[in-house]
């Protein structure tokens, strides 16, 4: 689970009183949540993210509304539509992500493996590809 990106189904308990969604350490088996933050009120034309993390792992959960997350893991690109609070998106180390097309009511909950650390960010896509390629070369020699 440590790397890559994938949708994760969150255990949901639905009855006539409504829905209860659980996020526990079975959902984040390779990291303990050390930080949570919320993104909301994003105009539909704005893009959030546009960076990768060298070490941080995250799960993004659409608590309300919908938005898309485009990812680039150095090898391939993909796009996820997050629109169901029972389905989150795991983002491992070294995944470039861009969040866009937020609906007016969208609320994103982000659970993260560590505290905020600006030094963990790669904010430039070509630098991300350079660092990714350098990692692959290093791993080939290990």
Closest CA to 7 of 60, 51, 70, 72: 60
Q: Give the one residue of 21, 23, 33, 39 binding ligand TYD; rule: CB under 6 A.
A: 39
Looking at the Cβ atoms of 7 and 47, the one nearer to ligand TYD is 47
Q: How far is Cα 40 from Cα 67, in angstroms, rounded to an integer? A: 11
Would you call 51 a catalytic residue per the annotation? yes
Looking at the Cβ atoms of 37 and 130, the one nearer to ligand TYD is 37
- Footprint of ligand TYD on 99-138 (CB under 6 A): 116
Closest residue to ligand TYD: CB criterion: 116
Q: How far is Cα 39 from Cα 2, in angstroms, rounded to an integer? A: 24
Set 5, 13, 51, 53: catalytic member: 51
Interaction between residue 48 and ligand TYD (CB under 6 A): yes
For residue 97, the minimal CB distance to ligand TYD (Å) is 9
Q: Give the one residue of 4, 23, 49, 81 binding ligand TYD; rule: CB under 6 A.
A: 49
Q: E-strand spans in the chain? A: 5-9, 12-15, 18-21, 35-40, 48-53, 58-64, 67-72, 77-82, 87-91, 96-100, 107-112, 121-122
Q: Give the one residue of 6, 7, 9, 37 binding ligand TYD; rule: CB under 6 A.
A: 37
State the DSSP H helix or E strand holding residue 45, giving kind and residue range, or none if neither.
none
Q: Residue 3 has what DSSP assignment?
A: B
Selected range binding ligand TYD among 4-12, 33-41, 52-60, 70-78, rule: CB under 6 A: 33-41
Neighbours of 118 (CB within 10 A): 6
Residues that bind ligand TYD (CB under 6 A): 35, 37, 39, 48-49, 116
Active site amino acids: 51
């Amino acid at each position: 689970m440590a790397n890559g990106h994938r949708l994760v189904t969150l255990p949901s308990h639905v009855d006539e009183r409504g829905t209860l969604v659980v996020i526990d350490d079975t959902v984040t088996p390779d990291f303990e949540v050390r930080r949570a933050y919320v993104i909301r009120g994003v105009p539909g034309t704005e893009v959030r993210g546009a960076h990768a993390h060298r070490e941080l792992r995250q799960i993004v959960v659409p608590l309300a509304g919908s938005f898309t997350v485009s990812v680039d893991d150095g090898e391939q690109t993909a796009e996820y539509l997050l629109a169901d609070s029972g389905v989150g998106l795991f983002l491992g180390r070294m995944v470039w992500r861009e969040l866009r097309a937020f609906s007016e009511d969208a609320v994103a909950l982000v659970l993260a493996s560590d505290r905020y650390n600006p030094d963990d960010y790669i904010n430039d896509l070509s630098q991300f590809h350079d660092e990714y390629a350098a990692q692959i070369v290093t791993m080939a020699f290990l």
